C-alpha cells in the first residue's frame, strides 16, 4: 500500500506550536483572554503551562465580573429620565427577608418621568412604600392600593454633581476590587515560584496579570466617564 506523504515542514511547525494548547482541552480554548489577545495566550500555553494560564485567566474572569458589577451600580444612578433600573438597589423587608424590589413586581415607565410599580402581592404595598421612602432616591411614593407611582423630578445642577461623585466612587470601588484580584493572583504566582516554577516564568505571569489589570481599569474608567457625561447632560 502507498504511504501518505509526510507533512510539509511548515505544517509540522504549526502542529508543534498548537499541540500544548490542544492538551489544555476544548473548554480552555473556548475562552480566550480578551485582554491579552490570542497571540499572547498562545505564548502562555507554550511557555508557562496550564497552571500559570489558569491563574491569569481566572484573574481576568474575576476582574470582568467586578467591572460588570460596577457598571450595574452605575446604571442605578439617575440621569434625569425615568428608568426601571433606578430601583435596582431598592430592597424591601418582605416577610423579614431583604428582597430586591424588582423581584416583587413589575416596574414600568409612564410618560417620561413616572415609574409605575405593580406588586404581585398587594399585602406588601406598605412595605414597598416604606422601602422607597427610606431610600436615597429623593422621591415620594404614591399608592392607590393597587399600584405605586413615583414621579421622577428633574435633576438640579447640585444633584447632578452629587450623582457624578457617586459614579466616581463606584468606579473607585470597582478598581479597588480588581486590584485586590491582581494581588491575589500575583500571590498565587509567587507561591508557585516557591514550589519550583522558574523565575522567568513567574515574572512573565506577573506581567500578564498586570496587563489584565490595566485593561480592566481602562474599562472601568470608560464606564464611569460615560455615566458622568450622561448625568451632567441636561
pLDDT of 221-231, one tens digit each? Answer: 999 999 999 88
| Residue 226 confidence (pLDDT) | 95
Topology of domain 34-74+160-232, CATH: Topoisomerase I; Chain A, domain 4 (1.10.132)
Beta bridge partners of 94: 97
Averaged pLDDT, 188-216: 94
The whole-model pTM stands at 0.64
Of residues 26 and 136, the one with the higher pLDDT is 136
Of residues 169 and 233, the one with the higher pLDDT is 169
| Residue 36 confidence (pLDDT) | 57
Averaged pLDDT, 92-104: 95
Q: Which of 110, 114, 93, 92 is closest to 101 using CA atoms?
A: 92
Among 15-19, 57-61, 71-75, 168-172, the least confident range:
15-19
- Max mean pLDDT range (2-11, 16-25, 139-148): 139-148
Neighbours of 133 (CB within 10 A): 11
pLDDT at 24 over 70: no
**84-153 is a CATH 3.40.50.11810 domain:** no
Averaged pLDDT, 196-205: 92
Listed in order, the ranges of the chain carrying CATH 3.30.1360.40 are 84-153
pLDDT at 103 over 70: yes
pLDDT at 84 over 60: yes
| Residue 104 confidence (pLDDT) | 95
Task: Mark residue 77 as left, alpha or beta (left: phi above 0; alpha: psi -120 to 50; beta: remaining).
Answer: beta
Confidence of residue 85 (pLDDT cuts 50, 70, 90): confident
Listed in order, the ranges of the chain carrying CATH 1.10.132.20 are 34-74+160-232
| Residue 155 confidence (pLDDT) | 82
Given a contact cutoff of 8 angstroms between Cβ atoms, the answer to whether 216 and 35 are in contact is yes
Amino acid at each position: 500500500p502507498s504511504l501518505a506523504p509526510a507533512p510539509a515542514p511548515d505544517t509540522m511547525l504549526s502542529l508543534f506550536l498548537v499541540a500544548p494548547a490542544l492538551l489544555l482541552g476544548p473548554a480552555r480554548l473556548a475562552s480566550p483572554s480578551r485582554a491579552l489577545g490570542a497571540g499572547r495566550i498562545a505564548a502562555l500555553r507554550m511557555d508557562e503551562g496550564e497552571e500559570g494560564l489558569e491563574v491569569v485567566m481566572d484573574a481576568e474572569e474575576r476582574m470582568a465580573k467586578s467591572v460588570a458589577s460596577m457598571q450595574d451600580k452605575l446604571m442605578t444612578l439617575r440621569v434625569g429620565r425615568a428608568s426601571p433600573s433606578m430601583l435596582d438597589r431598592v430592597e424591601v423587608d418582605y416577610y423579614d427577608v431583604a428582597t430586591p424590589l424588582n423581584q416583587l413586581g413589575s416596574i414600568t415607565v409612564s410618560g417620561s418621568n413616572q415609574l409605575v410599580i405593580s406588586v404581585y402581592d398587594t399585602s406588601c404595598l406598605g412595605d414597598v412604600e416604606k422601602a422607597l421612602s427610606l431610600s436615597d432616591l429623593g422621591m415620594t411614593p404614591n399608592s392607590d392600593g393597587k399600584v405605586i407611582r413615583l414621579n421622577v423630578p428633574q435633576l438640579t445642577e447640585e444633584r447632578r454633581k452629587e450623582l457624578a461623585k457617586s459614579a466616581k466612587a463606584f468606579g473607585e470601588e470597582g478598581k479597588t476590587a480588581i486590584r485586590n484580584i491582581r494581588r491575589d493572583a500575583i500571590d498565587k504566582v509567587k507561591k508557585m515560584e516557591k514550589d519550583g516554577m522558574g523565575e522567568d516564568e513567574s515574572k512573565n505571569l506577573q506581567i500578564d496579570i498586570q496587563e489584565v489589570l490595566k485593561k480592566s481599569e481602562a474599562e472601568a474608567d470608560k464606564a464611569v466617564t460615560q455615566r458622568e457625561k450622561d448625568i451632567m447632560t441636561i
